[in-house]
């Protein structure tokens, strides 16, 4: 009867650790469902080391000789230590930290592992880690007596393991999703320490390490039951935006507080179909426009709706829907549309309601001068002609200003040198000189770019004289180009105001030339800076240009 009892006890121990090893190895086939590659790699390492650790326990139990038992026991010590490293790697990757990628931490971990492994492998020489005695109850096995080096190594191992627990617990308490199941699974990995304590202090269990059992339960729980939950928590932790987690049947599985605040209908909606609870969200996902408009307490908010799968491309477990608040951008876009409409109306007003009366005035003045036989050198007639010409120039530049203020929607590939040379030929440059430095290929609206260069060239001629030298080239340290001259330059206090409409230092100037340049720059999404050239003249730097290889 005693023999049967001992055999059952022996079979029970061997079976438990064998099942744990098989569970760890079998779970490896399910890891392709984990979305994050680093988390997947860390969990794979954890399963391999834990499975190897449990296998070493089986070898330790079933080996017929003392030397073989000692060999398997030592292998278990080495592989079990590696499990701590795999655990830390998994915890760091899963919680979004970068410790597992830090070269310094990696080198430190390898150094500690090598040092502790050397202590374990050299135990036959110093006997400071453990000693073993063969005993017959409850079945033939080795009774291991641990030494001071064992307790030192175990203390370090548990300290490192608790670092991983802290990272996970911090994530689970901060994330606004249901993490109770994961709390339980993580807790199970630590529960075998209780068995360790019972085995060390009482005769009811063998004095050995039971941690592989906890990792096996964790592995099975994650790989076969809670993979989608593991992925959902990790994806939600990466952002503070509203998040809805769906299962493979598009049923609402979980939501965070931000989502329930935006969509009160989500409260208690777990297990319902998305299109039934939030049809507007389902319709938005199925449309070409990812922007969802939400009215709440008299305010309008805009959200860009995106969805991401759990698992890999080949193994889908469900999806997360993320709502990114783009209210400021959408409001700006709406304001831009209204501004463009006002510009269109203004351009129409200038084009028809001002140009037509001006044309009539010019025609009637010519008829009046012919009927009254006003001589060509009449001062009054010359003043009227100059006024008409100035009004026509103002109307044309105001129209250009209105047109160039619209955002660019047609982009062309432009070679800086070609565009500059063509624009230079369109301006009456006289004896002025053009110098081209570094070239650049970039995207722009060719017509507005032409007006930009022509107005800057005219500005240089107007303020620096007919013998000015204008230099154009690519910026050396930023994405963009510059136009500079060797004229008198622009005083530092005026460098911002020169771009404003109506600013001019010439009596006959309109004050719109540089304002048109500024509007063209803004319409492209670029920025312009006015500074001093190397020759002491004016220098205009245009940055934020999208260059092409």
Per-residue pLDDT of the chain (549 residues; tens, 9 = 90+): 344 466 787 888 889 999 989 988 988 887 777 777 788 888 889 889 989 999 999 998 898 888 898 899 899 999 999 999 998 998 888 777 778 888 888 899 999 999 999 999 998 888 888 887 777 666 666 777 788 888 888 888 888 888 888 887 777 776 656 667 666 777 777 777 788 778 777 777 777 788 888 877 877 777 665 566 666 665 555 556 788 888 778 888 777 767 887 888 888 888 888 889 898 888 888 787 888 888 877 788 888 888 877 654 444 557 888 888 888 887 777 776 776 666 666 666 666 666 667 777 777 777 777 777 777 777 777 777 777 776 676 667 666 656 656 667 788 999 999 999 999 988 888 889 999 998 999 999 888 898 899 889 988 998 888 899 999 999 998 899 999 999 998 888 888 888 876 556 555 555 667 887 888 888 888 999 999 998 899 999 999 999 986
pLDDT for the residue 312: 46
pTM attached to this predicted model = 0.49
DSSP H helical ranges for 122-210: 123-126, 148-174, 180-190, 192-201
pLDDT for the residue 266: 85
Strands 316-325 and 412-415: unpaired
Q: What CA–CA distances, in Å, run from 222 to 36, 213, 231, 327?
A: 14, 14, 10, 38
Q: Which residues pair with 132 in a beta bridge?
A: 144
pLDDT for the residue 427: 87
User: What is the Cα gyration radius of the chain?
Assistant: 39
pLDDT for the residue 449: 92
> CA-to-CA distance for 436 and 413, rounded, in angstroms?
19
pLDDT for the residue 345: 67
pLDDT for the residue 72: 92
Q: Which residues pair with 319 in a beta bridge?
A: 246, 309
pLDDT for the residue 422: 92
> CA-to-CA distance for 490 and 485, rounded, in angstroms?
11
| The two three-digit tokens of residue 518, written as one number | 């500024």
Per the document, the length of the chain is 549
> CA-to-CA distance for 523 and 527, rounded, in angstroms?
10
> CA-to-CA distance for 307 and 320, rounded, in angstroms?
5
Strands 527-532 and 412-415: unpaired
pLDDT for the residue 1: 37
CB 294 within 8 A of CB 325: no
Can you list the positions of beta strands (E) in 406-462?
Answer: 412-415, 433-436, 441-444
Contacts of 83 (CB under 8 A, 6+ apart): 46, 49, 50, 53, 211, 212, 215
Task: Specify the DSSP element, H or E, that contains 457.
Answer: helix 446-464
pLDDT for the residue 3: 44
> Cis link prior to 138 (omega < 30° from 0)?
yes
pLDDT for the residue 152: 87
**Coil, helix or strand for 322?**
strand
């Amino acid at each position: 009867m005693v023999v049967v009892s001992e055999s059952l006890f022996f079979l029970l121990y061997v079976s438990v650790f064998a099942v744990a090893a098989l569970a760890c190895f079998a779970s490896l086939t399910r890891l392709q469902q984990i979305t994050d590659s680093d988390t997947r790699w860390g969990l794979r390492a954890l399963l391999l080391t834990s499975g190897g650790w449990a296998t070493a326990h089986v070898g330790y139990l079933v080996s017929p000789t003392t030397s073989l038992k000692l060999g398997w026991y030592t292998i278990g010590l080495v592989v079990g230590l590696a499990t701590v490293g795999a655990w830390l790697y998994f915890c760091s990757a899963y919680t979004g930290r970068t410790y597992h990628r830090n070269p310094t931490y990696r080198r430190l971990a390898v150094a500690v592992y090598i040092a502790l492994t050397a202590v374990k492998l050299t135990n036959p020489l110093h006997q400071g880690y453990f000693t073993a005695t063969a005993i017959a109850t409850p079945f033939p096995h080795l009774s291991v007596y641990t030494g001071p080096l064992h307790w030192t190594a175990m203390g370090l191992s548990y300290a490192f393991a608790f670092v991983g627990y802290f990272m996970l617990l911090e994530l689970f308490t901060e994330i606004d999703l249901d993490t109770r199941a994961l709390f339980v699974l993580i807790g199970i990995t630590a529960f075998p320490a209780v068995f360790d304590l019972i085995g060390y202090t009482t005769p009811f269990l063998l004095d050995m390490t039971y941690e592989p059992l906890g990792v096996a339960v964790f592995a099975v729980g994650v790989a076969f039951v809670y993979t989608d939950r593991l992925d959902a928590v990790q994806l939600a932790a990466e952002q503070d935006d509203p998040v809805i987690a769906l299962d493979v049947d598009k049923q609402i599985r979980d939501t965070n507080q931000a989502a329930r605040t935006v969509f009160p209908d989500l409260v208690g909606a777990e297990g319902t179909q998305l299109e039934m609870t939030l049809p507007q969200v389902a319709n938005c996902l199925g449309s070409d426009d990812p922007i969802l408009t939400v009215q709440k307490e008299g305010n309008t908010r805009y959200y860009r709706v995106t969805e991401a799968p759990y698992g890999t491309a080949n193994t889908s477990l469900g999806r997360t829907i993320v709502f990114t608040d783009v209210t400021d951008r959408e409001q700006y876009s709406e304001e831009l549309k209204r501004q463009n409409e006002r510009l269109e109306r203004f351009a129409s007003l200038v084009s028809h309601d001002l140009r037509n009366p001006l044309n009539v005035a010019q025609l009637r003045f010519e008829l009046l001068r012919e009927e009254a036989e006003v001589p060509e050198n009449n001062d009054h007639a010359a003043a009227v002609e100059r006024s008409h010409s100035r009004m026509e120039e103002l109307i044309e530049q105001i129209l250009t200003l209105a047109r160039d203020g619209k955002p660019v929607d047609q982009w062309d590939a432009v070679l800086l040198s070609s565009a500059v040379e063509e624009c230079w030929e369109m301006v009456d440059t006289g004896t002025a000189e053009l110098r081209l430095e570094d070239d650049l290929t970039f995207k722009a609206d060719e017509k507005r770019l032409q007006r930009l260069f022509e107005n800057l060239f005219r500005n240089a001629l107007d303020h620096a004289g007919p013998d000015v030298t204008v230099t154009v080239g690519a910026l050396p340290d930023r994405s963009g180009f510059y136009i500079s001259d060797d004229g008198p330059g622009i005083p530092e206090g005026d460098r911002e105001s020169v771009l404003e409409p109506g600013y001019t230092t010439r009596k006959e100037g309109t004050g719109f030339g540089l304002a048109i340049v500024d509007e063209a720059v803004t319409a492209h999404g670029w920025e312009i800076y006015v500074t001093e050239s190397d020759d002491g003249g004016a220098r205009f730097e245009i940055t934020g240009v999208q260059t092409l290889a």
